[in-house]
Structures are given as structure tokens and as C-alpha cells.
Amino acid sequence: MEHTARSHPETVMVEISGSKEDARLVFDALNTCFASDRSPDEIPQQLHEVRPMVWLGTYDVAEEHGPHCPPVHLGASVQADVQGGYWAVDRFRHTLDSLFTVEETCTASGDQERDLHLLLQSR
């Protein structure tokens, strides 16, 4: 990810929880849309059978990779926590809406950052 001098933050941090298979589908889809700190061959691992897992990714939303990111079919719903500057979160949310059915379960806003708690489902 390349840092550019712009008037607003362009990175978004994402925490995904759910099954490791669905987490991978989400990360793979997001990697087709934006530059990320997650490599394409990075596979979410389930390190404990009982405890829930959370997987992290950071995305640079300054430029989309392609004009169209196709919808994704998930096995079950996935929780996503998204954090970043207002412009970046809005742009990221717009992309999520094209990939999934998105339900906003909670939001928190500060003077420079916005947090979204989302439920992602297949379109």
C-alpha cells in the first residue's frame, strides 16, 4: 500500500469473524477491489476449536482495482467491524454493498474516525 498526501485518511481496518472459509471469501473479494496488507495466499486459520476467531486486514481505498467487484456467496453470515476516516469508511461501505447484503448493527463516530459494526450476507 502506498501512502499519498491527501486531505483525508485512505485506509480502513477490518475485523472479520465467522467461519474461516467465509472469512477467506470476504478477504479474497476485498483484495480484488482494494490494495491490502493481506497477501492473496494468506488463508485464515482456526487456531482453537471452541473460541471464536477474528481475522484482520487493512485496505487502502484510495483507488479501486477494478470497476466491478462481483457479489460473493457466503456459507453463513459474517460479522465485520470497519474502522477508519469518514471518507474511507464511506467508500469501503459502498463497495461492501456491491458485494454483500449489508446490515449495520451499530455505529460509533468520533471527530475524525468512524466505526461500523456490520453483518454481511450473500446477495
* pTM for this entry: 0.85
Give me the amino acid identity at 78: V
> Does position 5 have pLDDT exceeding 70, yes or no?
no
Of 12, 23, 24, the closest CA to residue 95 belongs to: 12
pLDDT tier for residue 28 given thresholds of 50, 70 and 90: very high
Average confidence (pLDDT) over 41-62: 83
pLDDT in tens, 55-86: 899 999 998 776 677 889 999 999 999 999 99
**Confidence (pLDDT) at 6:** 53
> Does position 52 have pLDDT exceeding 90, yes or no?
no
Q: Within 13 Å and on the Cβ side, how many CA atoms surround 42?
A: 13
**Confidence (pLDDT) at 106:** 94
* CA 123/CA 114 separation, integer angstroms: 25
